[in-house]
Amino acid sequence: MPKMKTHKASKKRFRVSATGKLMRSQAGKKHLNSPKAAKRKRQLRGRVAETDRVAQKYIVAMGGK
C-alpha cells in the first residue's frame, strides 16, 4: 500500500493538540469587522477544540492518529 497523502488544506486551517483534539479558529473574524462590537470580536479571538466524528476524519487526513 502506498503512503496516505497529507491533506494540505486541512493542515493550513487546523492543528492537532497534544491530547489529540482538533483545534480550529473561530469563523467570522476575517473581514467586515467594523459593524461588529468589540466584545464580539474579542470572543472570536481564541481557538476552539473539536472532538466529534468529523474532527477525527480531519485528524486522519492530516496524518494524525
Domain ranges, ordered by start, for the chain: 8-61
- The answer to whether the CB of 22 falls within 8 A of the CB of 55 is yes
Cell 502506498 appears where?
Answer: 2
Question: Would you state the pLDDT for residue 64?
Answer: 77
CATH of domain 8-61: 4.10.410.60
pLDDT means per 10 residues, the chain with 65 residues, are 89 92 94 96 94 92 83
First-to-final CA distance of the chain:
18
Q: What is the pTM assigned to this prediction? A: 0.76
What single-letter amino acid sits at 25? S
Cell of 47: 481557538
Contact 51, 21 (CB under 8 A): yes
Give the integer Cα–Cα distance in Å for 58 and 53: 9
